[in-house]
């Protein structure tokens, strides 16, 4: 690809991001905020005893959190923590985890 086409594609992508509705940006920021405390137990680099959540599949995250929340999946801490999140917050968290690398 020619450098001018690469530059044009980059500019187009940047403009697309800028065109996001303010609510979409707020949702992304809310997801990042909601997940910030998760890394106290879940490692960022895959080390440790808890699952690595970076890049975790969205639908799997939602189903696991719902299972913790409704008690169908037992846990030591997660079943209690999950009850503190609304269904909407769980989706925002799952969206955030799925997109970070």
State residue 44's pLDDT score.
74
State residue 98's pLDDT score.
93
What's the token pair of residue 3?
A: 């450098």
Give 39-63 pLDDT, tens digit per residue: 888 877 767 788 889 899 999 999 9
CA 36, CA 76: separation in Å to the nearest integer?
A: 20
Helix/strand/coil for 32: helix
CA 77, CA 35: separation in Å to the nearest integer?
A: 15
CA 25, CA 96: separation in Å to the nearest integer?
A: 12
pLDDT of 69 > 90? The answer is yes
Burial class (CB in 10 A: 0-12, 13-18, 19+), 13: exposed
State residue 18's pLDDT score.
54
Give 70-96 pLDDT, tens digit per residue: 999 999 999 999 999 999 999 999 999
> According to the CATH classification, is domain 22-99 in 1.10.760.10?
yes
Q: What is the average pLDDT across 3-13?
A: 53
- Phi-psi domain of 35 (left: phi exceeds 0; alpha: psi -120 through 50; beta: other): alpha
State residue 36's pLDDT score.
86
Residue-averaged pLDDT of the chain: 80
State residue 19's pLDDT score.
58
């Amino acid at each position: 690809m020619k450098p001018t086409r690469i530059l044009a594609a980059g500019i187009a992508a940047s403009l697309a991001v800028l065109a996001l509705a303010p609510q979409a940006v707020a949702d992304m920021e809310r997801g990042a905020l909601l997940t910030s405390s998760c890394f106290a137990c879940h490692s960022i680099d895959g080390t440790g005893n808890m699952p690595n959540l970076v890049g975790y599949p969205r639908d799997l995250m939602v189903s696991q959190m719902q299972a913790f929340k409704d008690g169908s999946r037992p846990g030591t801490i997660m079943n209690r923590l999950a009850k503190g999140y609304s269904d909407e917050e769980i989706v925002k968290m799952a969206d955030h985890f799925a997109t970070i690398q």
